[in-house]
Chain A
């Protein structure tokens, strides 16, 4: 483990920002700290950077306990949420600042800054001031500035928050590519699950000062450990009367999480579904929303409101129409854990390995093994 946090506690007055945080990050990985605002993710990042001190616990970087090492000695690069570029310095001066502080010879500074400007595609912008740059360019400068002194760990606080939605998409892949090119261990904070899933290869989900789950994006998505993770990830809704749905029995749970991709709705004359027709139940379309690339259907099934997506290529549906509905699976939750519940009737039919996936809504659907 390159970075390790052991039993970290931190409070601000009465507010507990970190409760017994334990985590490890491997060298060379790109990790997202994901959680809602106030979940303590930024506190963790700032403690690793040395901008905050933990009340108790150990922070270890590269095998050395760094609790008492000053931020500038920890060998980290930090990209601030709003980049915190020096407004009265040019792009060149911004990137060179850290090197000048380290008293590097002028010639070497020049070479290093030019190398970084080349790497980040900022050629021609050296003499500009931050307010003459677009949001994306500023992020590049912040990134180059953080990398200049050759840190071994890069920390980024909400690196995309200050950028408008259109450019954000582009920058995500840019940043990911850059980090792999440089090969630096990186941790970034985000509240946006799409961002975490897309950019990171390891996600740490935080909630109320605790670490809820650590895993790859796929693990977090497919096998949530806790009620919080199962509800926070994806477009999840909590339903209490899950046992009223066909194929599920009541267990000792508080409720169940259902996501749109777990719900299949089809017309009763649909031939591809004929084999599983008797596993389905009736649902009434209560609302249809156009989502651009698909339709979002709201269905009332046995008094429970469910949501599913429907491809625009499929037949037209109307509000009030009665459809057949199958729920592939749910995440049942109690106070501490989340459990995967499969649709029992579908399972009994044992049609798992037949090529039925062709008509399923999502490649992530039940039948795909």
Chain B
């Protein structure tokens, strides 16, 4: 097989496996399909079906109440701020972790991943502990408020919601960029700097084209996660119609318990399901794009 290239060899290996073990393949395919159908597709379809149980009029009424409108606004606001902050942070962190070597680099990379491994509720509680009534940062906020005459609230207010969302979606963009930047190496940057190019020019003209699609992909993932965040926000947001995001509104509607409000909660859920499907499609497009370049 020495005359075959890597890809051809892989293909041949796949063909060989295919020929010898058709049973295994079909068992695996049907198991996966069944699993995905019952665990993912069916529940999601039932959300849509339930949301339309009382007809379209009810559906549109359910998704256009004041509470839902306010929740949608808060969700969008939190998501936009989160994505902007995390894009900057993600580019910076991944640039730092791939193009420089320094002591504690591995440790820093691990720190960035904390939100992946920690429960969002804990993140929410951590902010309460920091900025809440007995939190250590409370005096700082109070001082700022009294000096500048502002009225900044963090816990149980919009800033808290935004902070919680940022925390939870913190690693998404850098995790997408790091592998791409690692694969690219530092040769091209070195070549550019040898020709006299400075930091920003190097980033703009040499590095950025490499990470463009991975960045878009990371932003999409970050957006999707920010839209759906529940746990951390739940800990920091207690006022319906003011600081509630869509997931919290859905929860409130559902917990209200009447048949109408449950159907309404499904209707609001369907907004998130539709957004999720759109994200999925975009994700596929950009993943394909980033691979083809």
Contact = CB atoms under 8 A, between A and B. Distances in A.
B188 A86 contact: yes
A38 interface: no
Contacts of A85: 188
B153 interface: no
A98 B196 contact: yes
Contacts of B190: 51, 80, 84
B201 A86 contact: no
B255 interface: no
B197 interface: yes
Contacts of A149: 195
Q: Most chain-B Cβ atoms within 10 A of its Cβ — which of A73, A76, A84, A98?
A: A84
Contacts of A102: 196
Contacts of A50: 194
B239 interface: no
A84 B190 CA distance: 8
Interface in B162-202: 187-188, 190-197, 201
A51 to B, nearest CB: 7
Contacts of A248: none
A297 to B, nearest CB: 29
A71 interface: yes
B194 to A, nearest CB: 5
A88 interface: yes
A72 interface: yes
A97 B192 contact: yes
Nearest to B196: A72
A71 B193 contact: yes
Interface in A90-118: 97-98, 101-102
A314 interface: no
Contacts of A89: 205
A78 B191 contact: yes
Contacts of B196: 72-73, 98, 101-102
B191 A101 contact: no
B209 interface: yes
B191 A80 contact: yes
Given A84-B187, A86-B188, A101-B201, A78 B209 contact: no
B102 to A, nearest CB: 15
B195 A97 contact: yes
Interface in B32-64: none
**What is the interface residue range for chain B against chain A?**
10 to 19
B283 interface: no
A82 interface: yes
Contacts of B194: 49-51, 71-72, 76, 78
Nearest to B209: A88
Nearest to B188: A84
B225 interface: no
A76 B197 CA distance: 14
Interface string B210-228: 1000000000000000000
B15 to A, nearest CB: 28
Contacts of B188: 84-87
Given A80-B187, A101-B201, A86 B193 contact: no
B256 interface: no
Contacts of A98: 195-196
Interface string A112-138: 000000000000000000000000000
A225 B191 CA distance: 37
Contacts of B195: 72, 97-98, 101, 149
A82 B187 CA distance: 8
Contacts of A71: 193-194
B271 interface: no
Contacts of A88: 206, 209-210, 293
Q: Most chain-A Cβ atoms within 10 A of its Cβ — which of B190, B195, B196?
A: B195
Interface of A: 49-51, 71-73, 76, 78, 80, 82, 84-89, 97-98, 101-102, 145, 149
30 contacts: A49-B194, A50-B194, A71-B194, A72-B193, A72-B194, A73-B196, A78-B191, A78-B194, A84-B187, A84-B190, A84-B191, A86-B188, A86-B192, A86-B205, A86-B206, A87-B188, A87-B209, A87-B210, A88-B209, A88-B210, A88-B293, A89-B205, A97-B205, A98-B196, A101-B195, A101-B196, A101-B197, A101-B201, A102-B196, A149-B195
Given A72-B196, A84-B187, A98-B196, 11 more contacts: A72-B195, A78-B191, A84-B190, A84-B191, A86-B188, A87-B209, A87-B210, A88-B209, A88-B210, A101-B201, A102-B196
Q: Which 5 A-B pairs have the closest CB atoms?
A: A72-B196, A88-B209, A84-B187, A98-B195, A84-B191
